[in-house]
Amino acid sequence: MSDVLMITACNNDENLTPAQDQGANKSENNSNVRSKLCASEEIRKEALKNNPRLLARYNEIEQQAAKYISNLQQGKILTDGSLEIPVVVNLIYSIPAENLSDAQIQDQIDVLNEDLSATNSDISKIPAEFQPFSAGDTKIKFRLSKINRKFNPRLNWNHDSMKRSSTGGIDATDPAKNLNFWIVNKINFFILNVKGYATFPESAGQWDDGIVVIAVCVGRTQEKGFGRMATHEVGHYLNLRHLWGGVNCDDDFCDDTPAQPSPNSGKPNYPLYGTCGGVQRSLMFMNYMDYVEGDAMYMFSGNQNQRIQATVASNGPRAGLR
């Protein structure tokens, strides 16, 4: 794949800022963005279509999440403190510049810890309209457990090929108990120039379970992304959907994130409006599960936090992380 096609920033290559009050036209203006960032939803759709067992597990997880959130809202469940998730980084590099230092990788872990605990320095930017819906501290923490490094001159990786030693990658380390985090130079799957993707909880503990991010998007010490690509993918790993769901104006199962017609890009100005079902709403584009640039996203919502807690609960699909 030609370098000309590479995205110039981890969350957007055209640096487009949608005009305010776009209404129904917003989806059309941003139709190109969805094809250039995160492939998690597309990969999941194909997997669910082709694997009845995985589909059954998906439905079971959604039922468990809905029940957990209902019980939580009724005061039946109390949070049980922070959960520290060990992270195994599987770094595959083709040139020295891609062989990220321990400090760069730790910087990415620090970004995850700040974003998941709402201690990120830019959280004060949340508009007053959305401050009541901010997640606050999710009680999820990450600890760098191990870094596996491997040289491979390969210049592009197809879907999941980086996850098998038999195809030149690195096998996952006990994925039921660790977040496996693969770092590669380029990803080519479904969509050109994918910058990252993740498995959802129905894949918990399987050989391919974890997140993948390209090297130039890892950590804020890199030039691109501010480390938020990994935050976005960890959101998927913990059962969060894109704000527009799987398709435009679809359900992300979070009542406090406004229905959204399509991805947002660039660095939008607040307020930004979109229309779903004939209703125009102010959009929560600064949410980590949108596609805006890394320094324009800085929050999860309260309902997203509840879904995260359901995922790592003692009866949740990622209980093994405990």
Q: Has 233 been annotated as catalytic?
A: yes
Closest of 223, 236, 225, 243 to residue 286, by C-alpha: 243
Q: Which of 21, 10, 9 is nearest to 283 (CA)?
A: 21
- The dihedral built from the CA positions of residue 262, 132, 305 and 143, taken in this order, carries a sign that is positive
Total Cβ atoms within 10 A of residue 66:
13
Written as one letter, the residue type at 183 is: I
Among residues 98, 202, 233, 293, the one annotated as catalytic is 233
Q: Enumerate the β-bridge partners of residue 87.
A: 144, 179
Give the single-character DSSP code of 231: H
Q: Is 54 exposed, middle or buried (0-12, 13-18, 19+ CB in 10 A)?
A: middle
In whole angstroms, give the CA distance from residue 29 to residue 248.
Answer: 13
Sequence-separated (6 or more) residues with CB below 8 Å from residue 55: 48, 49
Asked if residue 222 lies in contact with residue 11, where contact means CB atoms within 8 angstroms, the answer is no
CA distances from 191 to 136, 183, 208, 257 (A): 33, 18, 19, 26
Name the CA radius of gyration of the chain, rounded.
Answer: 18
Q: SS3 breakdown of the chain: % helix, strand, coil, rounded to 5?
A: 35, 20, 45
Asked if 171 and 113 touch (Cβ cutoff 8 Å), the reply is no
Q: Strands 140-151, 83-93: parallel, antiparallel or unpaired by DSSP?
A: parallel
Mind telling me the catalytic residues?
Answer: 233
